Amino acid sequence: MLKGKDAKQLVFLELILFGIALIVGFLFYKFIDHQYKKEFVKSNGYMISALLKKHPELEDEVITSILSGQGSFEEGKAILEKYGLDESGTLDYLEHFHNLQTEIIIMTFLIITSIFILLSFFYWRFLYVQNRQLNSLSEYMGQVLNGKYNLDVKDYEEGNISTLKNDVYKLTVKLKEGRDQSLQDKKELEQILSDISHQIRTPLTSMYVINDLLSKDDIDPKTKQQFLEKDRIQLERIEWLVTTLLKMSRLDSGSVKLNLEQTNVVSVLEEALEPLQIPMELKGIQVRFERKKKIMVLLDAHWTVEVFVNVLKNAYEHTNEGGEITIEIIDNPLYTEVSIHDTGTGIKKEELPHIFERFYTGSSNKESIGVGLNMAKKVMEKQNGEIYATSIEGEGTTFFIKFYKNMI
């Protein structure tokens, strides 16, 4: 179905042709009317002239009879048929009527031919314009396929071709965005692989050194045991790094579907604290956490445990021996907020905006790999929450994990 400008153009052309046909038809009618009147007068002139040559004294009587309509048509028709002049043969015998017939045929042919030529012209003109636009669109698509996305084929007119141009332009924009995103993803992947390589190389280098030392024969059992413990720590570090990166890759690829359920956030915090209790006790860190009644929050329990573990681990790593970690929960009609405050070294003001970036380690803890907080941020974003931190250098840091209500 044609629509828009195309339909308007065709309707406009049809109206023009209809108007031309009306004008030509009117002129043709006036011409035929004039010719018939002319031939009628000529025919009657011949008959009257022939009659009055023999009977000139009847001129007044004949003219008066013709103008007044006297006489019998049937009697006149019978007389003419007597001499072979009837409806079927009169025009063939009367030369002037034969000429009129020829003129009518010629005029009819000219009118039909003219209308056909006009229709053909407008039709081929329409096809030419359409074909030129399609060729232009085809060239544009060829350039897009060759990677030239900076062209603009938008068309602000109406019509099928214009609609097609705009759709092609939208497709081009999508392709360009996809290409740009692919290039960006490629750069990020290269950066991630570089960072992973760097992060794994450090413990591996340490392990190579330890293994070289362990291979010596004169090493005493106590030193050997210390080296083996350090080796185990580096292996655990590599295992944790690989495991965490696999989790983050699942989050980045969108393959993770969070299972959001009403869950007691206190229980989730207790589960996150469990693997860190012994290390905190050995370091002399006191955990202040007032176990309240059930506070139900819409969340994914498994991934939210990962969030709390990474935040608590960060607090543990930055808190000196004998320090404190305080956990508080605020629940109101708008959101549920968990705050985790430590009395550690704090974070420098210029470093605070970057702590959730992947592989960002900062200057206070060179042992950190810099992926845990990044993963925590991704998980919170996926369940319509947020995580942020405030810190005073030398006094401590507070992380806020906020779950909004009625937003899922």
CA distance 311 to 304: 11
| Averaged pLDDT score across all residues of the chain | 76
With 50 as the cut, is the pLDDT of residue 138 above it? yes
Do residues 375 and 268 make contact, with C-beta atoms less than 8 angstroms apart? no
With 70 as the cut, is the pLDDT of residue 154 above it? no
pLDDT value at position 160? 64
pLDDT value at position 363? 60
List C-alpha distances in Å: 97 to 34, 93, 298, 397: 13, 8, 101, 115
pLDDT value at position 369? 59
Do residues 375 and 248 make contact, with C-beta atoms less than 8 angstroms apart? yes
pLDDT value at position 325? 93
Do residues 94 and 43 make contact, with C-beta atoms less than 8 angstroms apart? yes
Q: Looking at this protein, which amino acid is placed at residue 195?
A: D
Number of neighbours of residue 135 by Cβ within 10 angstroms: 10
With 90 as the cut, is the pLDDT of residue 341 above it? yes
Number of neighbours of residue 265 by Cβ within 10 angstroms: 23
Query: Model confidence over 252-293: pLDDT tens digits?
Result: 666 677 888 999 999 999 999 988 888 888 889 999 988 777
Closest by alpha carbon to 241, among 139, 371, 87? 371
CA distance 15 to 21: 10
Backbone angles phi, psi at 243, to 5 degrees: -60, -45
With 50 as the cut, is the pLDDT of residue 398 above it? yes
Q: Say which range, 174-183, 318-327, 345-354, has the weakest mean pLDDT.
A: 174-183
With 90 as the cut, is the pLDDT of residue 158 above it? no
Determine the 3-state secondary structure of 367 from DSSP. Answer: coil
Query: Model confidence over 49-69: pLDDT tens digits?
Result: 776 777 677 677 767 766 666
pLDDT value at position 91? 46
Do residues 311 and 397 make contact, with C-beta atoms less than 8 angstroms apart? no
Mean pLDDT along residues 126-146: 72
Number of neighbours of residue 344 by Cβ within 10 angstroms: 24
pLDDT value at position 93? 46
Number of neighbours of residue 182 by Cβ within 10 angstroms: 10
Closest by alpha carbon to 260, among 296, 303, 302, 299? 299
384: left (phi over 0), alpha (psi -120 to 50) or beta: left
pLDDT value at position 152? 61
pLDDT value at position 216? 79
pLDDT value at position 151? 58
In the chain, what percentage of residues exceed pLDDT 90? 15
pLDDT value at position 75? 64
Do residues 329 and 266 make contact, with C-beta atoms less than 8 angstroms apart? yes
pLDDT value at position 246? 74
Do residues 214 and 224 make contact, with C-beta atoms less than 8 angstroms apart? yes
Strand-strand pairing, 286-289 and 396-404: unpaired
With 60 as the cut, is the pLDDT of residue 95 above it? no
Mean pLDDT along residues 14-40: 71
pLDDT value at position 308? 93
With 80 as the cut, is the pLDDT of residue 299 above it? yes
How far is it between the farthest Cα atoms of the chain? Answer: 167
pTM over 0.75: no
With 80 as the cut, is the pLDDT of residue 134 above it? no
Of the spans 1-10, 205-214, 375-384, which averages the highest pLDDT? Answer: 375-384
Q: Which residue did the predictor score with more confidence, 275 or 140?
A: 275
pLDDT value at position 1? 44
CA distance 16 to 34: 27
